[in-house]
Amino acid sequence: MIGRRRFISIIAGAGLGLAMGPAAAAGRAYRWKGTALGAAAQIVLPRENAPDLVATALAEVARLERIFSLYRRDSALSRLNAAGQLSDPPPELLELLGICRAVHRMTGGAFDPTIQPLWRLYAEAYSSGRKPSQGEIDNALQSTGWDLLHFSPKEIGFRAAGCALSLNGIAQGYITDRVAQLLRAEGLSNVLVDMGEIVALGRRPDGRPWQVAVDDHIGQRVLPVSHGAIATSSSLGTAFDPAGTVGHILDPRTGKSTSAWHHVTVTGPKAALADGISTGLCIMCESECRSIPLDYTIRRI
């Protein structure tokens, strides 16, 4: 996954009664902190057998990363991008592409996982100390566009040469959702999962909402969360140029790195949708927001 600055984090807070070992007393929370998807991650669980559950969750993260990672040559996504087609694709990849299609429609095309040829152009150009030319951008746009992708349970493929997918704007949210679903299936009803985006199941052990810190362009805010997800995107969370002025969120409609907002926070029922929506919103004007479902709340700075 692309490394990027983190803008949301779990606040442990007084009253959680955190216990860091396997002998945690019943009713107290166990907090795991580590690394997942190349970034800091946390899981807070109210169970004595939390270490075993965390190990199960991390095994699921590793399995999903073998599907979605751009940086593992053996991942399903990398094999698709290299060959231009993938037979018998994993069901999780098909499910995520279905979510991508929904977010693409919601955002009027501002979110588009076929952005990878354009992203690669910017990365290679700036790594060699120059800006991409307009001709290069126009050429990359020929291989960019949701209509160039087709997928079914039998095959995923591209309709033009040079196409490639990046799921970095949505996969963290999807994996966060999957981990939360796994823990819910294990009987947990009060859990907080942070795998780059955050999902809250239920409440803290003391009955209060979970507390999540959001660092945006104007400072830190603390949001109470229960039974929902939070995702953030920042146009300059990762930059191509050393000066940090050319952001990594590119407009697939124009090929430009132009963002209307410094920071976008989206809350709603699912982290995958919130993640993808927050990515698209970075380059959407105010009037375009009407297409976003009413059960997702947006804060843009």
pLDDT tens string, the chain, 301 residues long: the values are 334 455 777 875 434 444 434 333 445 789 999 887 777 899 999 877 899 999 999 999 999 999 999 989 999 999 999 999 999 999 999 999 999 999 999 999 999 999 999 999 999 999 999 999 999 999 999 999 999 999 999 999 999 999 999 999 999 999 999 999 999 999 998 999 999 899 999 998 888 999 998 887 666 888 888 899 999 988 888 899 999 999 999 999 999 998 778 889 999 999 999 999 999 999 888 777 777 876 778 787 7
Q: Which single residue is written with the structure tokens 């999902």?
A: 199
Give first-to-last CA distance, the chain, whole Å: 25
> What is the pairing mode between strands 210-216 and 198-201?
unpaired
Q: What is the pLDDT of residue 14?
A: 32
CB 251 within 8 A of CB 112: no
* Bridge partner list, 223: 212
Q: Domains of the chain, with CATH numbers?
A: 1-83+167-301 (3.10.520.10)
